[in-house]
Each structure stands twice: as structure tokens, then as C-alpha cells.
Structure 1
Amino acid sequence: MKKPQVSVKQESPSGRNTKFHDNIKNIDMTRPQFIKEIEKGEYSNYHVRVINGVKTPVSNPDKKPGNNLG
């Protein structure tokens, strides 16, 4: 299976994704950095949702199970 463009690198104790890795550009990002890049249009396969009052990066939905942040 092909590796997703972005992988979760670290989670908080509550399970919120806090650090991410771009597998293509080989860079690490914090949640706020990743959100900023998504909002700038740099990651077209991802969008931002507000979950429990917190901006959260999420994968765009599709039918491929390997395309989720993980």
C-alpha cells in the first residue's frame, strides 16, 4: 500500500494529533503549522474542521482506507 502524503507523528494523551510528517517533502509540522499550510492551499487532500472548539486537520473523505491520517 502506498504511504499517505502526511502521517501522524505524535498524539496527545487524549488522542488529538499534535505532530505530523509530510512523507513527500520529508518535513515535520506541528498541528498549527499543518493547519496553516492546509488553509494556504498547500495540501489539497486535507481540510480543517473545528472539533470541540479546536481547529483540527483531517483527510478529505474517499473510499480508500489508506488515505486517512494515521
Structure 2
Amino acid sequence: MGNKRIKVTNETASGRNTNFHDNRQNKDMTRQQFVGEIEKGNYSNYHVRMINNVKTPVSNPDATRNNNLD
């Protein structure tokens, strides 16, 4: 299995992911920036959910673990 495209680089004490790194583009993003990129269609393996009234990036459900956020 190859490197994951997106890696979570920071989270709150409650477990909410706050910062992300795109390994292909060597690009760091905040949650808000990643949400914006997903909404623009730049990350097809991810979508946005409203969790506790906060837009939250999540990986699309599928059979692979390679795109899971962790």
C-alpha cells in the first residue's frame, strides 16, 4: 500500500482534526482550507459532513483504507 495522500497533522483534545498535509503536493492546510478544497472538487476521495454544526472533512466510504484520515 502506498503513502496516504492526506495525513492529519493536528487535532483537538476531543479528537477533531484541525490540520492536514497533502503528501502529493507537499501542502499544509487548516480544516477550513481542506473543506474548501473538497467543496471545489479537488479531492474526490473526500466529502464534507456537518458534525456538531462544523463543516468536517471525511473520507468517502469504500473498501480501501488508503484514503482514511488518521
TM range (shorter): over 0.9
Q: Which runs of 5+ in 2 are unaligned?
A: none
Q: How does 1:28-43 map to 2 (within 5 A)?
A: 28-43=28-43
Count of matched residue pairs:
70
Query: Quick one: percent identity of the two aligned structures?
Result: 64
Residue in 1 that maps onto 2:14 = 14
Give the whole-Å Cα distance in 2 for the aligned partners of 1:66 and 1:43.
14
Where 2:34 maps in the other structure, the secondary structure is helix
TM-score, length-normalised on structure 1?
Answer: 0.94
Contact 2:6 2:67 in 1 (8 A): no
TM-score, length-normalised on structure 2?
Answer: 0.94
* Greater fraction helix: 1
Q: How does 1:1-70 map to 2 (within 5 A)?
A: 1-70=1-70
Give the whole-Å Cα distance in 2 for the aligned partners of 1:36 and 1:44.
13
Give the whole-Å Cα distance in 2 for the aligned partners of 1:42 and 1:13.
29
